[in-house]
Amino acid sequence: MITQHSVFINLPKTKMKLFYLIFLCLLSSSHANSLSDFRALMDLKASMVGPSSSGLQDWFANSSSSSPSAHCRFTGVKCDNNSRVVALDISNIPLFGIVPPEIGLLDKLVTLVLFSDNLTGPLPPEMSNLVLLKLINISYNLFNGDFPGEIVVNMKDLEVFDAYNNNFTGSLPTEFVSLNNLKSLSLGGNYFSGEIPEAYSRFLALETLALQGNSLQGLIPPSLSRLSTLQILRLGYFNMFLGGIPPEFGFLSSLRLLDIGGANLTGEIPASLGNLKLLHTLFLQSNFLTGKLPPELSGLVSLMILDLSLNQLTGEIPLSFVALNNLTTINLFHNQFVGPVPDFISDYPNLESLAIWDNNFSFELPSALGSNGNLKQVDVSGNHLTGVIPKHLCKGGRLMFLILMQNYFTGSIPNELGNCKSLIRIQIQNNFFNGSIPAGFFNMPALEILELNGNNFSGELPVDISGNKFQSLVIKNNMISGKIPPAIGNLVKLERLELQVNNFSGGVPEEISNLRMLMTINISANNLTGDIPASIARCTKLIYIDLSRNRLNSELPSQLSMLPDLSVLNLSQNRLSGEIPRELAYMKGLTILDLSYNNFSGRIPVDWQLKGFSDEILAGNPNLCTPDKMNCPLVTNSSNASHRTITFNLFIILIILVFVLYSW
């Protein structure tokens, strides 16, 4: 076996000295380069870490004395066997500085990631020295100025360049086109302007082109269809293109995702897009597209997400769409579609979301909708739909959003929905539903919004009510009767309570005072009697109170003046009596007040905000006196008068007893 030692022994002395000399030079050079990398990193830290940042704390200057490879242990630094920096990954650190020219000294870099570091300023030209780079990610920063395209010209190995969400300006750089290995180019979320260069059709290996969220204009180049390897194309959002979708895009046979939403597109959807057999996501929302859906789109056999919302599309859903079996999301809302919702939609095995609101769909929803067990969202509001609610909507226990408002639905709510514990939002107002409200609706652990107003629901609310996430409970304009359950006080996160225009009786539950997050309470136009609980003043976030058009017969609690943000107080058309509390004078936020048509008496307080309101707010209170009237009787309701009489009589009897005992 020939060892390194035996080779040295057999070498002539002159050659042996020469070998050692070369070895030492190489060793010295390697050591010098590693020290150069160390110094470059320290310069980077000095420049990138701003005055208000404390990042890169383990990048110590005195580390050089311990080892020539000490910098390889810095956070985010990776070195090769010669202690040269080959990867720099500094992510999610608020540095607030700039990238200095010394970054060009790290000429062995293969990977450069400066992600979400609040870095600013222009990119230094010295980055052009980093010719070995394969990946650059400088996204989510504040880099600005015209993009220096010359820095990438010699990066022949570059595969990924991501500058998303910065502040670059000027025209799109064309220098990237010369990089034959480039697979992903993301320049979105900046302020690039002008047109998409025709040169962008000459990329040889590009798989992702993301130019969304800029200020681009002009026509979308049909020549982009030459990018035979392209899989992801993002062109939408804040770009304002002229014209429509190039029909040539139907030749992008490798395309998986096409996103041109919010890009000012006009015209019709090209039927040629149906040739994109691998496309799984199509975003064309928020444009000005017109015409009918091409039946040829049924060729999108891999399509999972279809978003054509917020356009001006017309016609019916083509029957050929029965072939789109992989759809999980259908967004067609805010268009002018007509006709029925096809039954085959309920046969899509993976359908999770159906959002077709604000159209002109008619007839009934498919009776089997939801039977696939995957449905999470149904929003069909603002159409002309009729019939009953399909009972299988929550078959898989995954339904979270049920939004059916402003249609012509009839019948009662299926019992199955009353047991759907996954529901977060139920909005079925302004239909023709009848029957009782499922008790389960009031005991759902995830439910935040329950809005059932404008229907024909009857019966009583359940005695048991819970729900730690309830924020809005709106049941107004129905025919609900019985008492308001005290358990409503268990909805401790409730912000909005609207029960007006029903047939509730009994009193206002004292437990409402537990609703400390409550901002709006409206129980007007019912048959409530008894007191206004003074404890309602504990709901200190209240802005709106309307208890009008009932038969409340107590005095007005002065504690209401403790509500700091109360803006609207309507207690009109009740049987309230006694004096108007003078404390209301201090409610500076009160903008709407109505105490009309009650039995208030006594003097109108002269020093309060009534002087800023019209006389109509006190109309129908004949026993109220102006401040300058000499004699002003105080009239109370019978129960209070009786209580005061009893109290007075007891006081007289007590005085007589004391007098008799003292005399005796």
CA distance linking residue 221 with residue 482, whole number of Å: 67
pLDDT at 385 over 80: yes
The mean per-residue pLDDT over the stretch 618-643 comes to 71
Judge whether 72 and 66 are in contact, CB under 8 Å.
no
CA distance linking residue 279 with residue 281, whole number of Å: 6
CA distance linking residue 484 with residue 490, whole number of Å: 13
Judge whether 492 and 468 are in contact, CB under 8 Å.
yes
Between strands 232-234 and 329-331, the pairing is unpaired
Contacts of 290 (CB under 8 A, 6+ apart): 266, 267, 268, 311, 312, 313, 314
Convert the pLDDT of each residue in 256-279 to its tens digit: 999 999 999 999 999 999 999 999
Provide the 10 A C-beta neighbour count for residue 36. Answer: 16
pLDDT at 148 over 70: yes
Judge whether 95 and 76 are in contact, CB under 8 Å.
no
Judge whether 228 and 204 are in contact, CB under 8 Å.
no
pLDDT at 15 over 70: no
Looking at 455-607, which runs of residues are DSSP E strands?
456-458, 472-474, 481-483, 496-498, 503-506, 520-522, 527-530, 544-546, 551-552, 568-570, 577-578, 592-594, 599-603
Which amino acid, residue 515? L
- From residue 365, alpha-carbon distances to 279, 306, 322, 438 in Å are 28, 20, 16, 21
CA distance linking residue 543 with residue 563, whole number of Å: 8
Q: How confident is the model at residue 5 (pLDDT cuts 50, 70, 90)?
A: very low
The mean per-residue pLDDT over the stretch 597-616 comes to 78
Judge whether 154 and 128 are in contact, CB under 8 Å.
yes
Judge whether 571 and 594 are in contact, CB under 8 Å.
yes
Convert the pLDDT of each residue in 407-424 to its tens digit: 999 999 999 999 999 999
Convert the pLDDT of each residue in 47-82 to its tens digit: 999 887 778 989 987 644 457 888 999 999 999 999
pLDDT score recorded for residue 609: 52
Beta partners for residue 49, in sequence order: 96
Give the position of tokens 């007191």.
531
* Residue 483 burial (10 A CB sphere; 0-12, 13-18, 19+): middle
Regarding pTM above 0.85, the answer is yes
CA distance linking residue 561 with residue 88, whole number of Å: 62
Q: DSSP class of residue 205? A: S
Which amino acid, residue 457? F
CA distance linking residue 130 with residue 362, whole number of Å: 62
Closest CA to 495 of 544, 546, 563, 427: 544
